[in-house]
Amino acid sequence: MVLVLIIGDLHIPYRTHDLPAKFKKLLVPGKIQQIICTGNVCDKDTYEYLRTIASDVVVARGDYDDNMAFPFSQVIAHPQLRIGVVHGHQCVPNGDLDSLNALARTMDVDVLINGHTHKFDATEFQGKFFLNPGSATGAWTGTSMGEQTPSFALMDIQGPVVVTYVYSLVEGEVRVGKVEYRKAIEPPKPVALNLTQGQASPREAQSLAPGNGCSMIIRTALSVPSRLLSMQFKRAISASAEPTAAKMASVIDNLLATVPTTASSGIAPTASSTTSALLPKRPGAPNPFFIPPAADPLLTLLACVIMRHGQKHKASRIITDTLAYLHSITLSPPLPILREAIDLVSPSVKVVTLRKPSKNVLSPRPLTERQRAKQAFKWILAESEKRPERSVTQRLAKELVGVLRGDSAALKKKEEVHRQAVVNR
């Protein structure tokens, strides 16, 4: 059993001064083995306080964290579980379940912990568990004017089972809720037999010997779904008291002799192609491009920014070609690079001009997640037009790489907007 503290969105000391006193009484050293923080720790003293509770502290960098040593995402491997942690500002729109699910598939995790919304949420979706502990201090979100409920979570990991206890401070009292998630365990894969040869290998001969689990192998072979495993093949195997690999191969060859030629291709199936359906596929084969699904909200937004004269299909093709070219020059998954580049350029506020009777006054206004991503991509797209490459795909991909290197002029535009906001706040 491993007890993990899930906490985040503290915003100390910018939006609040400290954790609630009743939460501090619960968070005592010696009981918690690990701390996972969804970001926005903000100051070093708060981070050191977390280290007094548990020495193992994992932090994902939030949009208000100044510590550049914190990565944007991390993966924690437990014996039967993989846990991913991100702040959540990478998802557009904010807290979108489809975006989180796409991110969880990219990170190849069973549990994805995220924050940024300052509201507790626990959802099981398509076999994965998504947990948002909320804000432990109840800090202001930056977009909503209502009060937030302070909350954090304790995760009890017992093999493939995760029991989550959520602690929330409601009307001065600590209330506790419970959520349980159980990872689906894949059934054992069938034993691969050398059916294309006339005799079994030594290991197969030992497994097929009487009393060594031969009936289990037969049941496993019969459970494999295949159009070519007819009832005739099943009865032939079941009728044999002591089947061998050679006898099973002979049954398949006799069955293939009765199979008609495929009309579409004109090629009759062979024994090697039939037996390959029984062999387990190589596990964990990654997708080399990591191209996200077509319904990704961020890519849809970027296509709308690029679109001209209503030609959205052309804009979508530019985005797809940019991701492919970005993969070819970095040899890395392109979508995390795109999200990180947009996150680095995204402004938190905009400066608007208010007309007064005597003069014009500059006033900062907070931006939503969609507005932040849209403005960031407009800046990146404008700077990419200044590059010498002829193709818009190459210019855009190299500008994204330039943002990660820190030499893009789009970063200076963000700093200028933030400077004006601070001066005129």
Bridge-based pairing of strands 161-170 and 151-158 is: antiparallel
Mean pLDDT of the chain: 78
pTM, to two decimals: 0.48
| 3-state class (DSSP) for residue 65 | coil
At residue 276, does pLDDT exceed 70? no
Residue 119, H or E segment: none
Confidence at residue 146, expressed as pLDDT on a 0 to 100 scale = 65
By mean pLDDT, which of 162-171, 253-262, 374-383 is the weakest? 253-262
Q: What is the pLDDT of residue 377?
A: 93
Q: What is the pLDDT of residue 35?
A: 94
Report pLDDT digits (tens) over 91-131: 767 788 888 888 898 899 999 999 988 999 999 999 999 99
Residue 416 clears pLDDT 70, i.e. is over it: yes
Identify the band that residue 139 occupies on the pLDDT scale cut at 50, 70 and 90.
Answer: confident
| Predicted confidence (pLDDT) per residue in 144-192, tens digit | 656 789 999 999 999 889 999 999 999 889 999 999 999 987 666 555 4
**Per-residue pLDDT tens for 301-338?**
888 999 988 888 888 889 888 988 888 888 888 888 89
Helix axes 214-222, 231-238, angle to 10 degrees: 170
Report the interhelical angle of 392-405 vs 369-384 (nearest 10°).
Answer: 110
Do the Cβ atoms of 208 and 217 come closer than 8 Å? yes
Q: What is the DSSP letter of 73?
A: E
